[in-house]
Amino acid sequence: MEAEKKAQLLSRIDRALDKIRPYLQADGGDIALIDVTDDMVVKVKLEGACFGCPFSQQTLKSGVEQALLKEIPELKEVQPVND
């Protein structure tokens, strides 16, 4: 993916995540955009109370992924990254 196109896509993803952040922050968590791959997989890091939460996978798939796919249908999936 060319650099300019990737930068625009990352910006769109970040704006979509900004709509989700207040819900995560209300529970003491947050989410950070790490990258988007050439095959349209979004890499994110759950932070704060979301990191290690037993419901984090459900939040990621049912909440974050669904919201991103609704806003940016060309995306394929959202995956967590671990440090």
- Look at residue 83 in the predicted model and tell me its pLDDT: 56
What is the arithmetic mean of pLDDT over 8-26? 94
Domains present along the chain, CATH in parentheses: 3-80 (3.30.300.130)
46-62 pLDDT, tens digit each? 998 888 888 888 888 88
pLDDT above 60: residue 70: yes
pTM: 0.89
Ranges assigned E (strand) in the chain: 29-36, 41-48, 77-80
pLDDT of residue 58: 87
Q: Are 20 and 31 within 8 A, CB to CB?
A: yes
